[in-house]
Amino acid sequence: MKNKKTVLMFIYLLGVMLILPANAYAMHIMEGFLPMSWAGLWFALTIPCWYMGLRSIQKTIHINPSLKMLLALAGAFAFVLSSLKIPSVTGSCSHPTGVGLGAIMFGPMAMAVLGSIVLIFQAVLLAHGGITTLGANAFSMAVVGPIVTYAVYRMTKRLGVPLWLSVFLAAALGNVLTYVSTSVQLALAFPAEAGGVMASLAKFMGVFAITQIPLAVSEGILTVIVINILTAYNKQELRELSVLAKEG
């Protein structure tokens, strides 16, 4: 029964994605936008995370093959949320990331792989982001975001913070730090003539800040809702993943 509920949730998330309107707002860092030197650097920093992520996923599935459905759910959740196109009042566009759920359940390195797969599909099928900028987009959304989420979640749990609040803070802060990372990437690649990198960083962060804060709050709330549903129908799996305390 619980596996059926998980499958239905998976199908629902994919269904939401299929009925979303396909407005052509810019998403992530677009194809060809970064100089090749910077694009190559972010690939170099991300590739080791992909290797560790593949090892992490392989280990998890080997120990418990039944977790494959939750792994797929984490990927679908990230795909749906990060594909939502929210126009910003500054004329740009923001979106949730969706990587917090998977980071909490499977750890940050697993989401480095799943998040990058999501970005590849979006670049190829939806023209969001790009292949040359995949390393940069993956580093901010699939590496930094999940690491921050996982660290905040584990730290707050050790401090005795309630599960729902730990999940909310972790997912929301992971979302915000993703956009801080993207702003840093753009500022390094395109420093302002007056003020250099710091002036450019302030400009890029200002572009997203007004929209991103409420989006981060929304993502935190949605992640709490999904965790609550999984707690009701997949409690044993969450215990095995150390999201919930084990009995006894």
- The arithmetic mean of pLDDT across residues 152-173, rounded, is 96
Determine, yes or no, domain membership for 146.
Answer: yes
Average pLDDT over every residue of 147-156:
97
Decide if 11 is inside a domain: no
**Which tens digit of pLDDT belongs to each residue from 203-226?**
888 777 667 888 899 999 999 999
Whether the per-residue pLDDT at 248 is higher than 90: the answer is: no
The residue-averaged pLDDT of 34-47 equals 95
pLDDT band at 135, cuts 50/70/90?
very high
Q: Is the pLDDT of residue 75 over 90?
A: yes
pLDDT reported for residue 3: 54
Instruction: Say if residue 126's pLDDT is above 90.
Output: no
Q: Is residue 169 part of a domain?
A: yes
Tell me if 226 is assigned to some domain. yes
pLDDT of residue 210: 67
Structural domains in the chain (count): 1
Query: If you average pLDDT over residues 174-181, what whole number do you get?
Result: 92
Residue 98 lies in a domain: yes
Does 18 reside within a domain? no
pLDDT over 80 (residue 189): yes
Checking if the pLDDT of 5 tops 70, the result is no
Which range of residues forms the domain containing residue 108?
31-240
Average pLDDT over residues 151-178: 95
CA distances from 24 to 70, 94, 128, 129 (A): 31, 13, 9, 12
pLDDT in tens, 156-165: 999 999 999 9
Write out the chain in H/E/C secondary structure. CHHHHHHHHHHHHHHHHHHCCCCCCCCCCCCCCCCHHHHHHHHHHHHHHHHHHHHHHHHHHHHCHHHHHHHHHHHHHHHHHHHCCEECCCCCEECCCCHHHHHHHHCHHHHHHHHHHHHHHHHHHCCCCCCCCHHHHHHHHHHHHHHHHHHHHHHHHHCCCCHHHHHHHHHHHHHHHHHHHHHHHHHHHCCECCCHHHHHHHHHHHHHHHHHHHHHHHHHHHHHHHHHHHHHHCHHHHHHCCCCCCCC
pLDDT of 87 higher than 90: no
**The pLDDT of residue 96:** 84
**What is the percentage of the chain residues whose pLDDT exceeds 90?**
58
Please state, for a pLDDT cut of 70, what percent of the chain lies above it. 83
Residue 203 maps to a domain:
yes
Which range, of 5-9, 15-19, 83-87, 171-175, averages the lowest pLDDT?
15-19
pLDDT at 59: 94
pLDDT of 64 higher than 70: yes
Residue 121 in any domain: the answer is yes
Question: Is pLDDT above 60 for 123?
Answer: yes
pLDDT attached to residue 17: 42
Q: Which residue has the tokens 């992640």?
A: 223
Q: Is the pLDDT of residue 113 over 80?
A: yes
Q: Which CATH number characterizes residue 224's domain?
A: 1.10.1760.20
